[in-house]
Amino acid sequence: MTAALKERGHLVERASDAEQAIQMAEENRPALILTDLDLPTFDKLMNLVRAHTDLKNMLVAIIDINSPEVSDHTVNILCDFQALDDLIESSPPSN
């Protein structure tokens, strides 16, 4: 997925866990956090994002063609990379 995102012109940084993702988001203010629903710390990541003063409105997305059910309705479920590009382009710039 990293290679495909880079080919589309996105800057990609990878975190190994929820805490590192939050730290990286604080430092770099990305357009969004793209995560994996199967990430063992997915719920923890979502709790940390929503509790963070500066990141609580950060876009969080998952690319999954199977349209999974997610209990956190603030997560954007995207079917493909074009949907990701469209989401980024339609979002206001991060601070």
CATH (domain of 53): 3.40.50.2300
* pLDDT single digits (tens) 32-50: 898 887 777 888 888 899 9
- Position 27 in a domain: yes
> Which residue segment(s) compose the domain that 15 sits in?
2-90
pLDDT score for 71: 64
- Position 95 in a domain: no
Mean pLDDT of 55-60: 88
For the chain, the domain total comes to 1
Of 92 and 77, more confident? 77
- Position 41 in a domain: yes
- Position 68 in a domain: yes
Buried b (16+ CB within 10 A) or exposed e, 51-90: eeeebeebbbbbbeeeeeebeeeebbbbeeeeebeebbee
